[in-house]
A and B are shown apart, each in its own frame.
Chain A
Amino acid sequence: MSRVFITGIGFITSIGNDASTVEASLRDLRHGMVRYAPFDRENCPVKVAAPVRDFVTDSPDSEDWTIPAPYQIRREMLRSLSPNALYAACALHQAIADAGLSDADVSNDETGLYAASAGSPGMLARNLNKMSQAGVMRCPPLGVVASIAGTVQFNLVAHFKIKGASTGFSSACASSTHALGFAYDDIALGRQQRMFVIGAEDGNAETILPFASMRALTQNPDPDTASRPFDAKHDGFVGTGGGVVLVLESEAEVQRRGVTPYAEVLGWGQASDGHNVAISHPDGLGLANAMRRALKAAGIGPADLGYINAHATSTPIGDASECKAIRAVLGAHAATVPVSSTKALTGHGLSLAGAMETAFCALAMRRGFTPGSAHIAELDPACAGLNIIRQTLPTAPDIVLNNSSGFGGANVCAVLKRVSS
């Protein structure tokens, strides 16, 4: 079995579109929430979102979009892009440069790409409306590939000339950690030498607001407190979007290229609640199982953990359920292992979340910090008994566990280990 390393990352997020901005946001606990203009309408009690910075992708016509420098996208590529595929493409450019990959390193039989996204509900809705209004033959010819759930990998595999394995994952908020896990397996089993792992979401009204009626979104209109996982007043999540890319490589490739990785992926595990389509198991049963499996696969015990990046989205039921799972798995170490949710800063990125938070952990390990859990004024009693860190610590954890949970009670956890440079 080959060891697997993270050698490059790329960020298009609500807290920064490059690693140094993201690092500053995580260290200083600067959040990405705003009063989001598209929510400023009657009958919409949700007011806050964490939109991607500098990009403007509201127009139904992608040629009207604002794409910040240094990214340039030609029309022939743009016409098949959803907003999330655009973010992912820009993040992939960043990650390729960050990992120091040549064109030949990107396009060969041993390099694949796994993406996680829910597609583009906004573009899908516009295309279907156009179909019913203007007629079946009047829809944009590339409307399908620009909107269905596989849009991110369709576009990126074609544009970046990926020759190895490619597919997409759609386990909602667990998707991109699933992508990471299966990409890890492909490298560990020798099927691929390098994998790009991508999480991406539009993060606009059409992806976020459908969560309002299930009461999953906060109606708190104050951007400074809207997302506050583990706080006594947490009352729903804030939606976000963007694209994050991780470059995973085999030990052989790391040695051949002579690069210093961000971190090693030690292993991963998954388990399902078997409980409810949309609500976490009240005792965090599936999540606890997934955490145990990840630790076992990594060959470590709870005492080895230096930090847990929680899934905690700022919903009372979800946060409490995860705290029960963490307490059950950590046992005697529950009061010492630092835990935080970076969703207090970014909001919840749905399919983006797992890859984004894994990238945060990798960045923190390389740059020597442990991100804190922002916006906690008073801890929710349901979250007591854990070492939830409210400020960023100035030291890097040696081993990190990253949790993700999605609809259907899917739970996925990954373990990363710091690489000493």
Chain B
Amino acid sequence: MTEGSASTNAQSTKPFSAEDEAALRESLRRCSEATVNAAIAFRQTGATEHLPVIILGVVERFVDPDLRPKLADGNSDGLRMIDDLGIDSLTMMEIVMLVEEVVGMSISNDELRNLRTLGDIKVFIDCKARGVPPPAPAEHHGIESILQRMPIQPPFLFLNEAEVSESGATGKYKITGEEFFLKGHFKDNPVMPASIMLEALGQLGVFHLLTAMPAPEGQEVGTNTIFFTSSDGVRCHRVCKPGDVLTLSMKPKRVKMPLAVFEGSIRVDADKAVVAEEITLTFGFVDKAAPAAPAAASSAG
């Protein structure tokens, strides 16, 4: 990591020559003009605002032409490189090598392992370029972990698993058909209510606040302090039925005690199901429970 930021700094202090530009254009010749321009601008100025365009352009160059339209969607950061973009581990190496070459940094195998989504890559490269430590990799939580932490419980919990990092959370919920409300919504035609889909996003937001929100020393987000406040710009694009697996995504846009504003979306496979421009939750900090308690419990167990 230090090595990467050091080489980036070295890059920015060395003048960007015509030969460098020619080499850069050659390396990026299968990428869009916007990508090339962003790369030149980054190499000249070191301004990290150009990085997302560069990364998107490099990824696009390696994605199968049939799948490229997915990247044009404004909300592409949640796309998983392997599952959604058909990138295998060797192609991932090619992407990383081209990004390394273009932005002038090196990425180790360990670092590479944690980059699962397009958003992960953007955040990671941005941190490296700015010389700050990248956020901890997303942590996976199974249903046990979710049940243990959440104030919401079955039959009103709509989250089977989740991946959480500081920059956001993704989760999955499979509509089983056994949900009690599907008996009446609708008669002989079970359809997941839009309100419940919004609820599922809200629950993922709650889980994010409980597991990834930085808190003042000695404090944590209180389980019983979180409530729904508002939502804005909610659009449903697809009817979801039993058997569908909802892929939920929540990203914090603005967080300032006591409000956390998220941008949320739900997909089913490649289909967009729900977009919520803003979902706002309120939360509060409470003093952490004495650390002696869990230790005692574990020694007792």
Contacts and interface: CB of A to CB of B under 8 A. Distances in A.
A141 B90 contact: yes
Nearest to B86: A76
Interface string B105-122: 010000000000000000
B88 A141 contact: no
B106 A137 contact: yes
Interface stretch (B71-79, B93-101, B239-247, B273-281): B93-101
A78 to B, nearest CB: 12
A281 B95 CA distance: 53
Contacts of B64: 74-76
Interface residues on A, range: 10 to 19
A76 B88 CA distance: 9
Nearest to B92: A141
A75 B30 CA distance: 13
B91 A76 contact: yes
A134 B62 CA distance: 21
Contact of A142 (B90, B101, B106): B90
Contacts of A63: 30
A140 B101 CA distance: 12
Nearest to A80: B90
Interface string A6-18: 0000000000000
Contacts of B88: 76
Main secondary structure of the interface of B (DSSP, over half): helix
Interface string A105-140: 000000000000000000000000000001001101
Contacts of A79: 90, 94
User: Which of A63, A137, A138 has the largest count of B CB atoms less than 10 A from its CB?
Assistant: A137
Interface in A70-111: 74-76, 79
A134 B101 CA distance: 9
A373 to B, nearest CB: 47
Interface string B24-58: 00000010000000000000000000000000000
A74 B101 CA distance: 25
A138 B101 CA distance: 8
B94 A141 contact: yes
B39 to A, nearest CB: 16
Contacts of B94: 79, 140-141
Contacts of B62: 75
A63 B90 CA distance: 17
B3 to A, nearest CB: 12
A87 to B, nearest CB: 23
A88 to B, nearest CB: 21
A137 B30 contact: no
A356 B90 CA distance: 34
A415 B101 CA distance: 55
Nearest to B62: A75
A73 to B, nearest CB: 13
Q: Which 7 A-B pairs have the closest CB atoms?
A: A141-B93, A141-B90, A141-B94, A138-B97, A142-B90, A138-B101, A63-B30
Interface of B: 30, 62, 64, 88, 90-91, 93-94, 97, 100-101, 106
22 contacts: A63-B30, A74-B64, A75-B62, A75-B64, A76-B64, A76-B88, A76-B91, A79-B90, A79-B94, A134-B101, A137-B97, A137-B100, A137-B106, A138-B97, A138-B100, A138-B101, A140-B94, A141-B90, A141-B93, A141-B94, A141-B97, A142-B90
Given A63-B30, A76-B91, A141-B93, 17 more contacts: A75-B62, A75-B64, A76-B64, A76-B88, A79-B90, A79-B94, A134-B101, A137-B97, A137-B100, A137-B106, A138-B100, A138-B101, A140-B94, A141-B90, A141-B94, A141-B97, A142-B90
